[in-house]
Amino acid sequence: MPDSAPNFEQVKSHRDLQVWQMSMDLAQSVYRLTAQFPKQEEYRITSQLIRAAVSIPANIAEGNARGTRKDYAHFVSIARGSTAELETLLLLAQRAGFDRENAIAPLIETNERVGKMLTSLRARLADHSAPRSP
């Protein structure tokens, strides 16, 4: 069974989820990318990019820690929304000319994979026949 649709009996922590691991790597890459942005963008697109990127693994973790599948699914949905926000901000940064090293396209691709994994996780959580993770 792929990690995007985990066997919930085997998941001990959000850290066991490939989607959480990948979203942590994505957030770290966004930090690296924005460190190269112009200083005047620090409180503009830079802070928005970082917040959107950090929101993804944070919501996966919070949802996993909740007591019900419904709550978990809700936080996974929020994380999925953050992937759409992050994509939009990355595309805007690209349009604004902040992609001097062509680093944004791979982040958009990773973000898309994370989004698909979150969609699968959300569907799995909606499947009430599957056991919920501890």
pLDDT per residue rounded down to tens, the chain (134 residues): 344 445 455 567 888 899 999 999 999 999 999 999 999 999 899 999 999 999 999 999 999 998 789 999 999 999 999 999 999 999 999 999 999 889 999 999 999 999 999 999 999 999 865 554 43
Is residue 121 within 8 Å of residue 22, measured between CB atoms?
no
**Domains in the chain and their CATH numbers?**
14-126 (1.20.1440.60)
Find all residues with CB under 8 Å of 61, minimum gap 6, and list them: 14, 20
What's the predicted TM-score (pTM) here?
A: 0.86
**Nearest-angstrom CA–CA distance, 93 and 34:** 10
User: Is 92 exposed, middle or buried (CB count within 10 Å of its CB: 0-12, 13-18, 19+)?
Assistant: middle
**Nearest-angstrom CA–CA distance, 17 and 37:** 31
